[in-house]
């Protein structure tokens, strides 16, 4: 791959995360993100407990949790065009208000279980539009350069941390509050997010005016060779990385490990991911972050091969931490991606990126569970490491080929042509 493709950015000293907070609008966006993410995690736990208390059915309780993921693909596909067709601030505020209204309706006494599930679906349906629009608007607020990369990294770390803190916070809240009261806090948090975004960010015009069908929007993004490969580099490694997470409970049970060990194992991957992003964001320059994308992506799933020896808790914990640390490659990949997306497609591209990421992670978990019905868990995780590494290597090879094609086209069309 040509040097300018693998190594965008200048050889400059590392920029710290404090640079991002010096941008006037970012503190409001960050605080809104923190409020909404924590609120939604608390809502997931509280709604699951509420549905179980109302029905006594473990299946219905699990369904209340799963409905946070199932409508994701549909919502992201159908709503992606809205991210570019309307001003970003308006889209974000409306999404927050819709979700706050759904949460408030869940709080009403006597709301039937079926309605509670429909409301949960509605919140999940607009989630990819909100995430895609927010990620696209970050490039408007921070610029598409290295400050954007650090901003995206901070948002990801908030989401990872929310999974660690939010579930504990939700469990603690439910010891002193009824589930409906806890959900009321979610509604308040979403209203706070809408207020922060409405008052703390600048109103910018929409990127494009014309409407397009969902399929046309997908073709506009995925029809570009390099952009398609970069999208898959976000999607597919994550689909394999969730396999050990999805199977942690049966694996720990097979080892005879207790709940404390299971809790440690469940924290290992997100802790490694946060540590890797912090290291890449604080310590590395833009050029270095770009240099490590290919090697870290290629090696990122190799720690899962430690499962081949059916490791104990300590070695399994090490494997998950290492796999999480390797996720530092996403900072450089973020830069490649935003550079490859035409500005008029940025909202759709970011919405589809979020949609595919969540959807394929769900598919990866489901396939892992199905495979574990026929093979031992450690064999399934090892297989995911081998197959995932092969897939990543193929994608990196295709990325090089796409870069070579772009270079040939530039040579044929002459200098100055984009």
Query: Tens place of pLDDT for every residue, the chain, 418 residues?
Result: 433 344 444 445 556 788 888 888 999 999 999 999 888 888 888 888 888 888 887 777 767 766 777 777 888 888 888 888 889 999 999 999 999 999 999 999 888 999 998 999 899 899 889 998 998 899 889 887 888 889 989 898 888 887 777 666 777 777 888 889 989 999 999 999 999 999 999 988 887 645 666 667 678 778 888 999 999 999 999 999 999 988 888 888 888 887 778 778 888 898 999 999 999 988 888 899 999 999 999 999 999 999 999 999 999 999 999 999 999 999 999 999 998 888 888 888 888 898 888 888 888 888 888 888 889 999 999 999 999 999 999 999 999 988 777 666 666 665 544 4
Domains 12-211 and 214-418 fall in the same CATH topology: yes
pTM score, two decimals?
A: 0.80
Quick one: which of 348, 299, 385 has its CA closest to 78?
348
Q: How many CB atoms lie within 10 A of CB 224?
A: 18
Question: Domain 12-211's class?
Answer: mainly alpha
Domain ranges of the chain: 12-211, 214-418
214-418 placed in CATH 1.20.1250.20 = yes
The angle that helices 346-372 and 113-142 make with each other, rounded to 10 degrees, is 130
Quick one: which of 249, 269, 239 has its CA closest to 366?
239
Give dist(CA 364, CA 303) in Å, integer: 18
Yes or no: say if 132 and 354 are a contact pair by the CB < 8 Å rule.
Answer: yes
What Cα–Cα distance (Å) separates residue 175 from each residue in 80, 96, 132, 171? 39, 27, 35, 7
Helix and strand numbers, DSSP H then E, in the chain: 20, 0
Burial tier of 113 (Cβ tally within 10 Å: 0-12, 13-18, 19+): middle
């Amino acid at each position: 791959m040509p040097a300018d493709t693998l190594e965008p950015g200048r050889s400059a000293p590392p920029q710290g995360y404090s640079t991002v907070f010096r941008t006037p609008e970012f503190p409001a966006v960050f605080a809104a993100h923190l409020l909404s993410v924590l609120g939604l995690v608390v809502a997931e736990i509280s709604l699951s407990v509420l549905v179980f208390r109302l029905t006594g059915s473990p299946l219905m309780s699990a369904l209340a949790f799963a409905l946070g993921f199932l409508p994701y693909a549909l919502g992201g596909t159908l709503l992606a065009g809205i991210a570019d067709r309307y001003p970003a601030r308006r889209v974000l505020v409306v999404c927050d208000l819709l979700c706050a209204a759904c949460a408030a309706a869940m709080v009403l006494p006597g709301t039937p279980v079926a309605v509670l599930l429909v409301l949960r679906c509605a919140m999940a349906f607009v989630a990819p539009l909100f995430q895609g629009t927010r990620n696209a608007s970050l490039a408007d607020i921070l610029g598409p350069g290295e400050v954007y990369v650090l901003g995206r990294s901070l948002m990801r770390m908030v989401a990872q941390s929310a999974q660690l803190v939010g579930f504990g916070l939700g469990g603690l809240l439910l010891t002193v509050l009824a589930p409906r009261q806890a959900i009321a806090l979610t509604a308040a948090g979403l209203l706070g997010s809408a207020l922060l975004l409405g008052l703390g960010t600048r109103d910018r015009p929409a990127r494009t005016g014309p409407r397009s069908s969902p399929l046309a929007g997908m073709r506009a993004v995925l029809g570009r060779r390099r952009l398609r490969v970069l999208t898959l580099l976000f999607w597919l490694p994550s689909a394999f990385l969730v396999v050990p997470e999805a199977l942690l409970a049966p694996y720990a049970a097979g080892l005879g490990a207790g709940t404390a060990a299971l809790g440690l194992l469940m924290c290992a991957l997100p802790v490694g991911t946060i540590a890797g992003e912090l290291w890449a964001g604080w310590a590395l320059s833009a050029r270095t972050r770009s240099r490590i994308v290919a090697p870290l992506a290629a090696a990122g799933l190799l720690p899962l091969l430690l499962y081949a020896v059916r490791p104990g808790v300590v070695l399994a914990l090490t494997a998950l931490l290492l796999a999480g640390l390797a996720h530092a490659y996403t900072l450089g990949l973020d830069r490649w991606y935003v550079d490859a997306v035409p500005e008029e497609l940025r909202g759709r591209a970011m919405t589809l990126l979020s949609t595919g990421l969540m959807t394929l992670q769900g598919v990866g978990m489901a396939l892992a569970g199905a495979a574990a019905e026929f093979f031992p868990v450690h064999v399934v995780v090892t297989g995911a490491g081998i197959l995932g590494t092969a897939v990543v290597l193929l994608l990196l090879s295709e990325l090089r080929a796409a870069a070579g094609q772009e270079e040939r086209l530039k040579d044929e069309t002459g200098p100055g042509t984009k």
